[in-house]
Structure 1
Amino acid sequence: MRQAFRLLALLLLLAVPCTGQAGEQAFGLTAKQIDLVRLLPPPPAVGSARQREEMALLMTLQQSRTPAQVALAQADAMRSVFRFADAISPAFSAAELPVTAAFFDKVRHAADLLLGPAKKHFDRPRPYASNPALTPCLHRPGNASYPSGHSTFATVISILLANMLPEDADAIYARAEVYRFNRELGGVHYPSDVTAGRIAGTVIAALLFDDPAFTEAYAKARAETRRVLGLPQ
């Protein structure tokens, strides 16, 4: 599986010329190493038929969401790898895994760094900005809607965790689906934002797996995680 990510990363780097290591870095990567603006389709325009269809879906979700769904969506607003503990083990916690916690904090920063230029370029208004009848049950973010940063984060995290813990891969990927969907249920993202986040997260994971600084940190986090969970190395 990791070889496939490395091949994807190589193809992407051939398609998008590297512009150097200047500027802010995460692991060994900079925001200029991948051009998600070129790789992602533009979001549906405000007023388009597709945007209206997406808005209708969000309104349906708003009318049908239950208190339990709202509570989970609100909890999932936290961008933490430990939101995936319910798919893995109660022992999967920051208190038990300090090296892993620090590693995934850096992964979150890397995802934000690499996604930022695309978010700024597309500058899509949040769905509630286009429809006052849409009332989110989540905090209203102050940045643009496309691609979804939470969905990008969940995708990267799930890919890394599934590689660390292949025994739990199915549950991890299922949890990521719920995490992403909660951005729609919560009224802060269109479905196309979430889809673009899934694509962006996969690309970012591929780049990370091809980065030597990342792979060294990943190996340490993997070893700690598997040791704490009582799994073979």
Structure 2
Amino acid sequence: MSMTGTAVRAAHVSLLALLALCGQALAQAGEAQPKVTDPHFKIAPGYLKRSDLPDSLVLLGAPPAADSAALARDEEARKTTIPLRNTARWKLAITDADLAFPQAADNFSCAMGVRIDGQQTPRLYAMMQKMLSDFGLSTYGVKNKYNRVRPFVVHNEATCRADQEAILRNDGSYPSGHTAAGWGWALVFAQINPERADALFKRGIEFGQSRVICDAHWQSDVDAGRIMGAATVARLQTDPTFLADLKAAKVEVKAAKAKRLPSTAECAAEAAALSAQ
């Protein structure tokens, strides 16, 4: 059956309207996807939808302004770390900067008292990778808005990881995604292994401080990163997939305590590095 000219025109107008709506929806979807510079936060899909992540634009203010007391605090914190360069603590900051696996898991194995890996604790190992995306992505609203310049760029220095500097130069300093991940992991690990909670909290704090020692972040970046890490962990507590993995990880870790442990030598070296500050 043929269509009348009026019907054809009406169908054409409807099609144009539909295309316009699709274009608007795609544009809005594009706006909802922040630019993510650090490839570590794309290792595995996270637990949370982007729309369900805590919003750093709501939770955080702007980074310290020029000539402010807050920036002076940042500069002072940076100066206190200069004597640590090329020490054992500096070397620990180098490994803490590596969010790739298995190093990211190794960074917390001593504090956990259990070797975190794909063989002994596969569920926990996979959880770390998924949470990493959630922690990192939670920081990018503010990162992209302010695009704060990192301390090593401001002071024309090197970081503890020359191989990462090209990415860091184009990735906003505030807040610290590494810190969000380290503190978030520590909080979840303490849920899984509460007997080691204090050691895990301490390691999570020092993981963030490694970013200041490395000259990759300001202290206020690290402080803000901890806020985003904690907020993301709180949000994860409502996700059924995360909660199922958390339950399974508790079983894994309980079984692993009687099996493969981190070496006493590497844990002694880590403890010495952390105490030598």
TM-score normalised to the size of structure 1? 0.81
CA distance in 1, matches of 2:66, 2:159: 19
2:175 aligns with one of 115, 139, 147: 147
TM-score normalised to the size of structure 2? 0.69
CA distance in 2, matches of 1:31, 1:71: 37
Unmatched 5+ residue regions in structure 2?
1-27, 35-44, 260-277
2:112 aligns with one of 80, 88, 92: 88
1:138 aligns with one of 153, 161, 181: 161
Unmatched 5+ residue regions in structure 1?
1-18
CA distance in 2, matches of 1:64, 1:114: 30
What does residue 114 of structure 1 align with? 138
Q: Could you tell me which amino acid in structure 2 is paired with residue 189 of structure 1?
A: H
CA distance in 2, matches of 1:34, 1:53: 27
Matched, 1:205 2:228: no
RMSD: 2.5
CA distance in 2, matches of 1:77, 1:95: 24
Q: Could you tell me which amino acid in structure 2 is paired with residue 215 of structure 1?
A: L
CA distance in 2, matches of 1:127, 1:114: 22
C-alpha distance after superposition, 1:161-212 (max 9, x if no partner): 0000000001100111111111111111111000001111110000001111
Moved more, 96-105 or 178-187: 96-105
What does residue 7 of structure 1 align with? none
Moved more, 170-179 or 55-64: 55-64
Structure 1 residues 147 and 23: CA distance shift in structure 2, 3 A: closer
CA distance in 1, matches of 2:179, 2:195: 23
What does residue 210 of structure 2 align with? 182
Query: Contact between 1:92 and 1:229, CA under 8 Å: does it hold in 2?
Result: no
Superposed counterparts of 1:18-97, under 5 Å: 26-31=46-51, 33-79=53-99, 80-97=104-121
Superposed counterparts of 1:157-172, under 5 Å: 157-172=185-200
CA distance in 2, matches of 1:70, 1:137: 7
Extract structure 1 runs of 4+ deviating beyond 6 A.
Answer: 22-25
Structure 1 residues 138 and 47: CA distance shift in structure 2, 3 A: farther
- SS state at 2:139 partner: helix
In the TM superposition, residue 36 of structure 1 has moved relative to its aligned partner by 1.4
In the TM superposition, residue 125 of structure 1 has moved relative to its aligned partner by 0.9
Would you say how many aligned residue pairs link Structure 1 and Structure 2? Answer: 211
Q: Could you tell me which amino acid in structure 1 is paired with residue 205 of structure 2?
A: E
Q: Look at both structures and tell me which one has the larger radius of gyration over its CA atoms.
A: 2
Query: Contact between 2:81 and 2:213, CA under 8 Å: does it hold in 1?
Result: yes
C-alpha distance after superposition, 1:112-142 (max 9, x if no partner): 222222221221111122222x432234224
Structure 1 residues 33 and 161: CA distance shift in structure 2, 3 A: closer
CA distance in 1, matches of 2:51, 2:71: 29
Structure 1 residues 90 and 103: CA distance shift in structure 2, 3 A: closer
In the TM superposition, residue 47 of structure 1 has moved relative to its aligned partner by 4.0
- SS state at 1:26 partner: coil
Query: Contact between 1:156 and 1:201, CA under 8 Å: does it hold in 2?
Result: yes
